[in-house]
Amino acid sequence: MKTVGVLISGRGSNLQALIDAQRAGTLGGAIAVVVSNVDGVPGLARARAARIPALCCPQAGRTREDHDRALVAVLREHDVDLVCLAGYMRLLSPVFLEAFSGRILNVHPSLLPAFPGRDAQRQAWEHGVKVSGATVHFVEAALDSGPIVLQEAVPVLDGDTPESLEARILEAEHRVYSRAISLYFSGSLRIAGRRVLGATPAG
């Protein structure tokens, strides 16, 4: 069975979607461990409720590299094949990126490369785009920049607020993340430069 390690910092609704997909048998693997850099967050409680090992790896008083070395050690102890960032609000250092090179996915609440960084939904709303969405991509050193596995578009409606748009995009995130993970585990993905092939039906 292929295994996922999920990194979180907060609410954990994407984590919950992955837990639900695992239960439904559509994740293609099992969540071996959930690690948060912030203690006491709802995501840790969601993991524990699902009987998944869940722990906090605190960053206070540690350099980014030392913190990442501790994270890598935890993920290796749990024999993690794939690392999934799910609302993990901290940049990864080269120490981490090298340890799991090509094996880290992230979900981002915009159609990248538009609106990278924080508050992507509000950025999209303020810009006045008519379509935004969710992106699952491989993680590289530069923020929100790696090869894109899957995207799902959502409309931006006249009556939207940043909050209502965020809620619509979040539903798309929940759908697209577990699908991307199951594609990854199916072995059908192939990276050709910036392009990830095998994620959509051949045209």
Catalytic residues: 108
Q: If binding is defined by CB under 6 A, does position 107 make contact with ligand GRF?
A: yes
Per-residue H/E/C for 77-88 = HCCCCEEEECCC
- d(CA 177, CA 48) in angstroms, rounded, equals 21
Q: If binding is defined by CB under 6 A, does position 122 make contact with ligand GRF?
A: no
Q: If binding is defined by CB under 6 A, does position 10 make contact with ligand GRF?
A: yes
> Tokens representing 3?
């295994």
Q: Nearer Cβ to ligand GRF, position 15 or 99?
A: 15
Q: Nearer Cβ to ligand GRF, position 93 or 106?
A: 106
Could you give the string, one character per residue 32-71, with x where binding to ligand GRF holds by CB under 6 A and - elsewhere? -----------x----------------------------
- d(CA 104, CA 53) in angstroms, rounded, equals 19
Q: If binding is defined by CB under 6 A, does position 11 make contact with ligand GRF?
A: yes
Q: If binding is defined by CB under 6 A, does position 133 make contact with ligand GRF?
A: no
Which segments of 60-161 are extended strands (E)?
82-85, 104-108, 131-138, 148-155
82-101 residues near ligand GRF, rule: CB under 6 A:
86-87
Q: Which of 6, 22, 173, 199 binds ligand GRF (CB under 6 A)?
A: 173
Q: If binding is defined by CB under 6 A, does position 145 make contact with ligand GRF?
A: no
Nearest distance from residue 151's CB to ligand GRF, in Å?
Answer: 13
Its sign, for the CA torsion 24, 26, 29, 35, is: negative
* Residue of 173, 187, 3 whose CA lies nearest to 82: 3
Q: If binding is defined by CB under 6 A, does position 164 make contact with ligand GRF?
A: no
Q: Nearer Cβ to ligand GRF, position 69 or 114?
A: 114
C-alpha distance from residue 124 to each of 38, 89, 107, 174 (Å): 28, 19, 16, 19
User: For residue 193, which amino acid is it?
Assistant: G
* Residue of 20, 11, 67 whose CA lies nearest to 181: 20
Residue indicated by tokens 């690690």:
35
Nearest distance from residue 154's CB to ligand GRF, in Å?
Answer: 12
SS3 at position 23: helix
Contact residues for ligand GRF, defined by CB under 6 A: 10-14, 43, 86-87, 107-109, 170, 173
